[in-house]
Amino acid sequence: MRKIFAVFALFIALGWQLNAQTTSLCHFDAKTKVFRMDGGNVSYVFGVNTRGELQQLYWGGKLGATDDFPQATPMPGWASFDSSYTNTPEEYVGWGAGLYVEPALKVTFADGTRDLVLHYDSYKLTPHGVDVVLKDIKRYVFVILHYEMDPASGILARSANIVNREPQPITVEQAAAAAWSLPAGHYTLNYLTGRWAGEWTLTQETLKPGERVIESRRGSTGHQANPWFAIQAGGPNDEHGDVWFGALAWSGSWRITVEQDQLDAIRVTGGFNPFDFGYVLHPGQQLDTPIFYGGFSAHGMGGASRLLHHFEIAHILPHRVGDGDNAAPKPRPVIYNSWEATGMNVSEANQMALAEKAAALGVDRFVMDDGWFGQRKTDHAGLGDWYVNPQKFPHGLKPLIDKVHSLGMDFGLWVEPEMVNPDSDLYRKHPDWVLNFPGRPRSEERNQLVLNLARPDVRAYVFGVLDKLLTDNDIAFLKWDYNRNWSEPGWDQLPATEQKKVYVAFVQNLYGILAELEKKHPKVEIESCSGGGGRVDLGILKYADEVWPSDNTDPFDRLTQQYGFTYAYTPQVMMAWVTDSPHWLNKRSTSLDYRILSSMEGSLGIGADITKWNDEEMATAKRLIADYHQVQKTIVQGELYRLISPRNGSEFSANEMVNHDKSQAVFFLYIHSTQEGRGFPRLKLLGLDPKAEYALTSIQGEAAPGTPTTASGAWWMNHGIDMGADFRGDFQAAAFRLDKK
Ligand code: GLA
């Protein structure tokens, strides 16, 4: 009996089931060969079609429990020019058999064959979803597609594992994590574009026939485009309509293509960037793609971003010791950062002076930025030499760290571990450690070269110096920077045919170092910075507690940047510093309260030269930091509603955040520049409990005379709030909180 049970269990484990199989998140109907996954308010359905391919059937709002699909049938061909194969929305299509749309996988076999047709092989239910195995119709190339559904949000995590069981090597030339399909329709595509100091522009366009490519060929995520998309049915709208969105968890070269095909259907394919890609898989070897997350909301772009925020907080961000059993990591400490105050000219004395003022403001963490190590006086030297500069810190970092601790703050430090200045001991010793093609120029940017982290010796060195730094010093936080993109990406230790593996191995080693550091120094928190927002993605956010969205700290520019940023990422990770006025980039002058309110919409920091702040400025900042501490959780972990967009030269803008049990709301109002005496429009709030009573408290600014101090949620949402007559001018800001009685 026991033996029979064991055999039966094996059959179940391998997924060789005769009848329907179900977990709470995935149902497989063996008769129709349809897989259905349900989570949150979402259903995702795909199946094995009559030709044996894995075909997408539905992605959208949750279907009824008893709704069934017949077995999938391939789309018909369109004359002799578009075959059935190219018209059928496959889950993961190989390049072969006359495919003209974007393939998920393209390989070259050892004999020169470049034809791959993937058919369904088997499946296995997993605790959160299903693994489906595909195999080429002739050869022993297997692809295991992983599907995991988040039961709360309906966000689906998809990735692929490509296995070569041929007797010869194959070269993978293109490998997506997943492809997502939508039926023909009228759609608006949203994506994020930018440049250094100008990241996070929300770019919107009507989808038209052809392909829109969003990508980085730079070796890292990049400022110029971010691996996130949202496709909205119809035109842009923040709170209404169907939105399908996705984000790729990869910090190397990546690509997402959004294609309206020959029959007007939409396919979104994303994964490793196929540009300059070529990953050789020897017999028995395999390649894991990154994860491509996808979700759906029927509540517009606002609903889509709120789902993503919660998902990131619950499932992506690191949960540290001290977070306890909370589903969410703790809100970020309010930091002080020295970069805009002292640049690289750091010293024990000037950092201690800044630390004293920072502590007086109520700051929680003091971070010393660039300049503390090696022979670092300018950006010409020192990167790679991670010893404390003895002229600047004659007794090491200890006196400064002790001082910071005695002031009641913890201590953080800037590092840029993947880089080297040619003028450094490290480079003089190991000139072969950088990405390069021997005998060719090594292009410098910011006077630095990229260490080839894919090399085991470089990986060991980088881990070693960071481990020592964290072991020798009481450091709570690293700001981990990365200040250039790749050039000449050669890995000359490997044979020519294998060198392109660098695109994968570098990033895997980066993640590996971060994971090892986390294991050994579990309390140390990380900020991902790359000259601002050049490395923000769901891959790095598995290790980084926060990110630096932009070197542009102008508070007015930040309003539009933060607006774009929060479509893809939670305000919890969005560090925002208050810096000096006039601002170094735009030469714009703004009041201190405007600057602080703009930064309060994310995780607040101070980056000004506070040794120069007068008593009044110190008092304003101290008051607002104390206010911020009280409402921070609502701001960074609540539901974000964009009430008035700051885009397109908007005269006004406003955002509101509501906490999960709707007991508190915080809202911010900004005037760009008052024209013709127009007052701020009446602001109707969203997301409150209509029946509850809420008390209004000003954080900054005054509501119109006669505004009730307490009113129902229905009042604040239907009647709304008017601002006082004085709320006019240029770069004005106000903020209020509502607390349930
Ligand atoms: C990058 C970062 C800045 C600062 C400098 C230091 O530009 O984005 O915040 O840390 O490096 O060199």
Taken in order of first residue, the domains within the chain and their CATH numbers are 24-298 (2.70.98.60), 643-740 (2.60.40.1180)
Mean of the pLDDT values across residues 566-578? 98
Beta strands in 416-472, from DSSP E residues, in sequence order: 419-420, 449-450
Task: State the average pLDDT for the chain.
Answer: 96
Mean of the pLDDT values across residues 262-266? 96
Give the dihedral of Cα atoms 594, 595, 597, 598; nearest 10 deg. Answer: 110
Residue 557 C-alpha to ligand 1 middle, in angstroms?
A: 18
Using the atom order of ligand 1, give the atom closest to the CA of residue 529. 8
Residue 361 C-alpha to ligand 1 middle, in angstroms?
A: 23
Q: What is the pLDDT of residue 327?
A: 79
Residue nearest to atom 4 of ligand 1 (CA): 339
Residues in the chain, how many?
741
Across 2-11, 258-267, 644-653, 702-711, least confident range: 2-11
What proportions of the chain, in percent to the nearest 5, are helix, strand and coil? 25, 35, 45
Q: What is the pLDDT of residue 219?
A: 98
Q: Is 532 in the pocket of ligand 1 (CB under 6 A)?
A: yes
Residue 1 has pLDDT above 70, yes or no: no
**Which of 344, 551, 579 is the pocket-test mutation for ligand 1 (most atoms within 8 Å of CB)?**
551
Residue 521 C-alpha to ligand 1 middle, in angstroms?
A: 24
Residue 129 C-alpha to ligand 1 middle, in angstroms?
A: 41
Within 13 Å and on the Cβ side, how many CA atoms surround 136?
24
Residue 481 C-alpha to ligand 1 middle, in angstroms?
A: 7
Residue 327 gets the label, from left (phi > 0), alpha (psi -120 to 50) or beta, of alpha
Nearest by Cα to 478 from 453, 531, 454, 514: 514
Q: Is 373 in the pocket of ligand 1 (CB under 6 A)?
A: no
Report the C-alpha gap between 721 and 682 in whole angstroms. 6
pTM comes to 0.96
Q: Is 369 in the pocket of ligand 1 (CB under 6 A)?
A: yes
Q: What is the pLDDT of residue 238?
A: 87
Residue nearest to atom 7 of ligand 1 (CA): 531
Mean of the pLDDT values across residues 96-121? 98
- The tokens for 296 are 């759906």
Which neighbouring-strand residues pair with 132?
A: 123, 145
Using the atom order of ligand 1, give the atom closest to the CA of residue 414. 10
Q: Is 568 in the pocket of ligand 1 (CB under 6 A)?
A: no
In tens, the pLDDT along 274-284 reads 999 999 999 99
Which neighbouring-strand residues pair with 125?
A: 130
Residue nearest to atom 9 of ligand 1 (CA): 551
Residue 529 C-alpha to ligand 1 middle, in angstroms?
A: 8
Distances (CA, A) of 449 to 441, 442, 480: 11, 8, 16
Mean of the pLDDT values across residues 320-347? 91
Q: Are 429 and 420 in contact (CB under 8 A)?
A: no
Report the C-alpha gap between 35 and 719 in whole angstroms. 47
Q: Is 370 in the pocket of ligand 1 (CB under 6 A)?
A: yes
Report the C-alpha gap between 109 and 111 in whole angstroms. 5
- The tokens for 357 are 């003022």
Residue 128 C-alpha to ligand 1 middle, in angstroms?
A: 40
Give the dihedral of Cα atoms 643, 644, 645, 651; nearest 10 deg. Answer: -160
Q: 3-state secondary structure string, 152-172?
A: CCCCEEEEEEEEECCCCCEEE
Residue 605 C-alpha to ligand 1 middle, in angstroms?
A: 15
Percentage of the chain modeled with pLDDT above 70: 97
**Which of 379, 481, 606 is the pocket-test mutation for ligand 1 (most atoms within 8 Å of CB)?**
481
**Which of 199, 339, 378, 553 is the pocket-test mutation for ligand 1 (most atoms within 8 Å of CB)?**
339
Report the C-alpha gap between 42 and 186 in whole angstroms. 21
582: cis peptide before it, omega within 30°?
yes
Q: Which residue has the tokens 């190219």?
A: 86
Report the C-alpha gap between 72 and 83 in whole angstroms. 17
Mean of the pLDDT values across residues 100-111? 98
Q: Is 551 in the pocket of ligand 1 (CB under 6 A)?
A: yes
Residue 7 has pLDDT above 90, yes or no: no
Q: Are 605 and 335 in contact (CB under 8 A)?
A: yes
Report, as residue numbers or ranges, the catalytic residues. 481, 551
Q: What is the pLDDT of residue 14?
A: 41
In tens, the pLDDT along 189-245 reads 999 999 999 999 999 999 999 999 999 999 999 999 999 999 999 888 889 999 999
Q: To which H or E segment does residue 226 belong?
A: strand 225-233
Q: Is 548 in the pocket of ligand 1 (CB under 6 A)?
A: yes
Q: 3-state secondary structure string, 549-604?
A: CECCCCHHHHHHHHHHHHHHCCHHHEEEEECCCCCCCCCCCCCHHHHHHHHHCCEE
Residue 333 has pLDDT above 80, yes or no: yes
Mean of the pLDDT values across residues 475-499? 97
Residue 19 has pLDDT above 80, yes or no: no
- The tokens for 76 are 């018909």
Nearest by Cα to 41 from 180, 243, 185, 265: 243
Other C-beta atoms closer than 10 Å to the C-beta of 202 total 21
Across 17-26, 72-81, 523-532, 599-608, least confident range: 17-26
Q: Which residue has the tokens 């970092």?
A: 397
Crossing angle, helix 502-520 and helix 456-472, to 10 degrees? 20
Using the atom order of ligand 1, give the atom closest to the CA of residue 531. 8
Q: Is 527 in the pocket of ligand 1 (CB under 6 A)?
A: no
Q: What is the pLDDT of residue 415?
A: 98
Q: Is 483 in the pocket of ligand 1 (CB under 6 A)?
A: yes
**Which of 529, 546, 577 is the pocket-test mutation for ligand 1 (most atoms within 8 Å of CB)?**
529
Residue 4 has pLDDT above 60, yes or no: no
Q: Which residue has the tokens 């190989």?
A: 94
**Which of 370, 373, 383, 528 is the pocket-test mutation for ligand 1 (most atoms within 8 Å of CB)?**
370
Residue 101 has pLDDT above 90, yes or no: yes
Residue 99 C-alpha to ligand 1 middle, in angstroms?
A: 45
Q: Is 414 in the pocket of ligand 1 (CB under 6 A)?
A: yes
Reported as a pLDDT band with limits 50, 70 and 90, residue 9 is: very low
Distances (CA, A) of 480 to 1, 269, 524: 58, 30, 12
Which parts of 80-139 fold into alpha helices (H)? Answer: 84-87
